[in-house]
Structure 1
């Protein structure tokens, strides 16, 4: 018997931000989202057992109202393994047959899926890449970026830079990298067949950590062309993002199932509207406002004009023409003073208020958070996000608002909002930076590192939550991948 309010999800990995926190957002809507246990989802570079996950998904989907599946987990064993796992294409494509089996058994089951366009990181860090990235990562990025830039613009300097980078990379590495990209592209292309057949109802192909040009952008253009040629534009979305897609697809499924399926109406207020028009977020290939439009479409919400009725007010904070980045220790290139009149406008609104904080990648803007706290606005927020990339924040926040639209003031949604504030502000923008400056992270064991984080973060977070009037206290604090970049938090009343 189908459970009308149960979803089944296969996340990209076991990190809490893509698994447990999505379950909590769905629970705030009065739904359940079943996912595999964390131990079944691999561990960063360690691929998950794919056969066992496929069997789990087939079993759990039998009574579900819908499924949301990470193709990177199903096919490669996780988002990170998708970049280096050695399997050939002929061994990967049969894993997609699971979808046809599910659809044959349950013709009315909504199947949502997502698969990232493989990222190209601009650094010599191989932690999440093939080993040769430690020596050639920046050259591979330059080869990719300038080759595509030359192809699109004809710029002679781009041709020179591309040739120089290519010449500095051994041929066997170039060939291996291109072969990996071609293999992953072929898997994504095969997904379009499943959409065309009506097996997959909604597919998102997010661009993971990208730039304006690159091999991955060329792949995006080709995928968009295929989508248009096959008439799939209403069912296939392609835009920057990755970690937030489980959030957005779950929100779309729940919103579609509601009796009143009218889109959530969102009014927008921006702290720095002049610079926002030209702001292109780090790790994305388009202006922030274009990313916002894509994320709204993904969750099934819409912006309204100032004179139209709205369900809530979304405050979008940025500061200047470019982002900083807390994780990479990049300050704001041209910070702008926070407009105090704008903060007062937020304080005076009669609409439920949510904030997306995009001044920095990988963490909140302390100037904004402290201004909101001084005005007593933090405990009044119905949603907040300021983590990782702009699209990660935009998508996860919009998903939270769609899911909790009938319960924005309930305890569950307030706790979810408090968790994001504690993680994005207190940890990502404050403690993580200070901790990395003080300790030698590689020299500590996983247990020592976790203990260091807990002893510094938990008392400070509990005190800050209490002082600002936010609900909850830290029930659990851990490092899901045994490093300081991400944290696992659980709050309790």
Structure 2
């Protein structure tokens, strides 16, 4: 048994336990992570000194490393947006990587470009995000748009948004971004010195323009200047990078050839122009980045698997934000023909953000049993779902029909399709979530999932059932499911 040592961005099941489940699909491999209680709790940062000691203790056991620099340096992805440590102290924490590196043991790492959310919800941000979040976003977006396009309207809108935000808040926000950007730049030094073998700098919840996009361009230019383009990847995403880097490390240790995948869109007429929500580029470009991240390639007649990428029209719906799918154009007939003749089929369900497409999955089930799928994903953002799905396909290569892989498919359908797209909305409609005690909220969520999602799994022919459901962050946006 080879042990990959992982440091996730936090303790949520989707970035820790579920990645461990995927790595176990590879057989003879395990992903060892700190316990959930050691990874902080939502806004509460992890004990970074303790984690540093834990990592040093794992050095002799590590066949490979997958490390969140946001957890190592800031104590978690969410704390990275508001923790007030100075840059010098954060750089010192980053230096631990030199102690962990051993010859011949791949060390991979990832650190998000700090997001800028387009709302006034301060739950995951500094307190001043309520009420200034939307104005901070507009200031960021239109400042960068004007810089690139010279558009006068964007200049006017940027200046107006900035005037609505007190100067000390603008200064604090820019200072936090500057500090975090400096840490990401410092990570490039470790790649250049051979300490980090593969570095991913994902763009967390982004748009076409913004301070974060300007940082991305600067990082890309620096990567090119240093000649690191084969070792540093920059693309939209965040929560899925633990999955993709784990798949890359296992593939490297096994000596795998790249997985050959035939990519087929369900809406070929529109998908090339579809820019998914919370991302900055058309869907095919995000897909290409995720293929590179896991070490897979697009193929034709010699493909080992068909990846059906489901989208509809020019834009996505969003279940969490109650945004309806603007356009439903149906599924190309040749997609259904290909599904019935492919050696194996996986589905990236990308018509909506934050959940799958029940209408599409019902139609899919009429063409082949869902229990035969090699993989399915429809959670959160486009890159989250595509990256995690590709990681599953790489890690379970040769074992897509195995019962433990089918259990992952059942989990993803239960979480992404049943919870995110259906049951979460139903629960939110009947409760006042902020006013409900967390224990009662979790009880209602669990009752709903254990009842309805399990009935649906049985109807679809799955032998697996949800044994337990919980709300790891005491809110309905994410859920933990134990499926067996």
Name the TM tier (shorter chain).
Answer: over 0.9
1:461 Cα offset (Å): 1.4
- What residue in structure 1 maps to residue 5 of structure 2? 8
Name the structure 1 match of 2:24.
27
Determine which of 237, 241, 245 is the counterpart of 2:237.
241
The reply to whether residue 482 of structure 1 matches residue 474 of structure 2 is yes
Determine if contact 2:315/2:325 at 8 Å carries over to the other structure: yes
Aligned to 1:127: 123
| Matched-pair contact (CA < 8 Å) for 2:55–2:100 | no
* 1:326 maps to which of 304, 319, 332: 319
Superposition pairs for residues 381-420 of structure 1, below 5 Å? 381-420=373-412
Residue 367 of structure 1 and its aligned partner are, at CA, apart by 1.0
Matched residues in 2 for 1:68 and 1:234: separation? 18
The counterpart of 1:301, out of the listed 289, 296, 302, is 296
Q: Does 2:62 match 1:64?
A: yes
Question: How far does the alpha carbon of each residue in 1:392-441 deviate from its partner, in whole angstroms, 9 at most, with x for none?
Answer: 01100000000001211111111001100110010000000111111011
Residue 226 (structure 1) aligns with: 222
Q: Does the CA contact (< 8 Å) of 1:376 and 1:468 recur in 2?
A: no
- 1:159 paired with 2:155, answer yes
Residue 261 of structure 2 is aligned to residue 266 of structure 1: yes
CA distance in 2, matches of 1:177, 1:471: 50
Quote the Cα distance in structure 1 between the aligned partners of 2:413 and 2:215: 36
Corresponding residue SS for 1:280: coil
SS of equivalent residue, structure 1 residue 273: coil
- Which residue number in structure 2 is paired with residue 256 of structure 1? 252
SS at match of 2:34: coil
Residue of structure 1 equivalent to 2:182? 186
RMSD of aligned residue pairs (Cα, Å): 1.0
Cα distance in structure 2, aligned partners of 1:377 and 1:410:
15
| Contact 2:3-2:63 within 8 A present in 1 as well | yes
* Maintained 8 Å contact 1:343/1:371: no
Query: How far apart, in 2, do the equivalents of 1:113 and 1:36 lie?
Result: 16
Aligned residues: 483
Q: 1:280 aligns with which of 271, 275, 279?
A: 275
Tell me how far apart the structure 1 counterparts of residues 21 and 56 of structure 2 sit (CA, whole Å): 23
Question: Offset of 1:376 from its aligned partner?
Answer: 4.0
Say whether 1:315 aligns with 2:308: yes
User: Where do 1:130-145 residues align within 5 Å?
Assistant: 130-145=126-141
Once residues 347 and 281 of structure 1 are traced to their aligned partners in structure 2, the CA distance between those partners, rounded to angstroms, is 24
1:51 maps onto 2:37 in alignment: no
1:457 and 2:452 are equivalent in the alignment: no
Shift of 1:343: 5.4
Task: Summarize the alignment of residues 465-476 of structure 1 with structure 2, pairs less than 5 Å apart.
Answer: 465-476=457-468
Q: How far has the Cα of 1:61 moved from its partner?
A: 2.6
The 1:56–1:69 alpha-carbon spacing in structure 2 relative to 1, beyond 3 Å, is same
For residue 346 of structure 1, report the CA deviation from its aligned partner.
Answer: 4.2
Whole-angstrom distance in 1 between the partners of 2:70 and 2:105: 21
Normalising by structure 2, report the TM-score. Answer: 0.98
**Could you state the TM-score of these two structures normalised by the residue count of structure 1?**
0.97
Q: Is the 8 A contact 1:414 1:471 kept in 2?
A: no
Shift of 1:350: 3.3
Q: Which residue of 2 aligns with 1:91?
A: 89
Query: What do the CA deviations read for 1:191-233 (whole angstroms, capped 9, x no partner)?
Result: 0000000000000000000000000000000000000000000
**Distance in 2 separating the partners of 1:392 and 1:8:** 21
Matched residue SS, 2:9: coil
Query: What is the rounded CA distance, in whole Å, between the counterparts of 1:470 and 1:411 in structure 2?
Result: 10
Task: Report what 2:211 is aligned to.
Answer: 215
